[in-house]
Amino acid sequence: MSTRLRNRLGLQNGSPPGGRRWLWLVVGASGVLAARAANADPQVILPNGLPVQVKPTYSEPGLPAFSFPTSGGTLLGGSSADTGNGGGSGSTNASSGGGSVTGSGDAYNMMMAQSWGSAAANAAGAMGVSATALAATCAMESNCQNVGASGGGSASGAFQMINSTYTADINGAVAYDPTLAGNIVSGLAGQMDPTTEAYAASYELRSDALLLQSKNIADPTVLDVRAVYQFGSGAGPAVAEADDSANIGQLTGLSAASLAANGLTTSSTVGQWRATVTAKLGSATAGQSVLAQ
């Protein structure tokens, strides 16, 4: 009998002062323990640590969107490598990286209400951008609906990426995190898989934010990066740097048709565009950092 068990049973070395009553207690306890030892393994086995946190892939009809906490808890032992992904589309199951997958605001709630929302949030985390920023993108582009191309353009999916941008970004995402390669929908079909497109869109947001960082915007916000996402890496930085009074058409050189495709006219100003984006997203989301902190 170990010293630890002895102490738990209240035993002491030498003769107990309680006399015979103590002796009978010791004998009885020893008998019980001996019987248990014969039938059970005294070791508590935790196979590879505690069970991972369960995250429902599909939300239950009628229930509001719920943001699963990803911090504050502690895994005791085992590996946390597979705890990050909520799945979503049924076709992707890539693990998340080190970025935060939590967010806030109406846009975030809108994305998380989709069956693929949790997986998209993980995609943002894997690419090092905030889930709120990714959610803002789908909210602006499609109200987070997985819609096909229309109007003769190739922009499609929840993040409305055109073919060329999507192809470049999904390749960039795989290069950034090679583990994605076998876990995403390949080819342009990935545009219509929201989780796969979320990786491409997240990579685009990351690239846009880094581009702005190289231009003296130390901590690009959702609104800053939105300028690059919407107007491209050519004209976008100028929109991000412009005063509210600047005319977007005059600033970007885009034609009336190109502006119309973005819901703008030749008289639209940067201030009006900013106000529209902020009204849609809310000022807290519009002002949030894109790169995960």
Partner 1 sequence: MKAVIFISSIVALLTLTQVSAAPAAEVVSGFQCVGINIEGLHLSQDDLRTGAGFPSILDAPREGAKIVSGVSTIIYIAWPPVVENGFLKAMAYGGKIGWLDKNSVRPLRRADGTTGGCTLTRRSNGRIMFDLDPGVGVNQ
* Residues contributing to the site for partner 1 (CB under 8 A): 214-218, 231-238, 241-243, 245-247, 249-255, 258
In angstroms, what is the minimal distance from the CB of 262 to partner 1?
Answer: 10
Residue listed under structure tokens 């050189």: 253
> Which CB atom, from 116 or from 231, has the smaller least distance to partner 1?
231
In angstroms, what is the minimal distance from the CB of 282 to partner 1?
Answer: 21
Would you state the structure tokens that stand for residue 99, as one six-digit string? 């970025």
Would you state the structure tokens that stand for residue 284, as one six-digit string? 């807290």
In angstroms, what is the minimal distance from the CB of 109 to partner 1?
Answer: 29
In angstroms, what is the minimal distance from the CB of 247 to partner 1?
Answer: 6
> Which CB atom, from 107 or from 242, has the smaller least distance to partner 1?
242
In angstroms, what is the minimal distance from the CB of 223 to partner 1?
Answer: 13
Q: What is the dihedral of CA 98, 91, 188, 97, to 10 degrees?
A: 0
Residue listed under structure tokens 């939590």: 102
Residue listed under structure tokens 């290069």: 175
> Does an H or E element contain 65, and which?
none
> Which CB atom, from 71 or from 245, has the smaller least distance to partner 1?
245
> Which CB atom, from 33 or from 211, has the smaller least distance to partner 1?
211
Q: At what angle do helices 131-142 and 222-241 cross, to 10 degrees?
A: 70
DSSP one-letter code for 84: S
Contact 180, 198 (CB under 8 A): no
Contact 194, 116 (CB under 8 A): yes
Spatial separation of the C-alpha atoms in residues 189 and 195, rounded to whole Å: 12
> Which CB atom, from 108 or from 231, has the smaller least distance to partner 1?
231
- CA nearest to 118, candidates 45, 198, 42: 198
Contacts of 51 (CB under 8 A, 6+ apart): none
> Which CB atom, from 57 or from 233, has the smaller least distance to partner 1?
233
Would you state the structure tokens that stand for residue 10, as one six-digit string? 């209240």
> Which CB atom, from 125 or from 236, has the smaller least distance to partner 1?
236
In angstroms, what is the minimal distance from the CB of 87 to partner 1?
Answer: 34
In angstroms, what is the minimal distance from the CB of 195 to partner 1?
Answer: 26
Q: How many CB atoms lie within 10 A of CB 102?
A: 16
CA atoms within 13 A on the CB side of 192: 6
In angstroms, what is the minimal distance from the CB of 219 to partner 1?
Answer: 9
Cα Rg of the chain (Å, integer) = 28
> Which CB atom, from 26 or from 246, has the smaller least distance to partner 1?
246
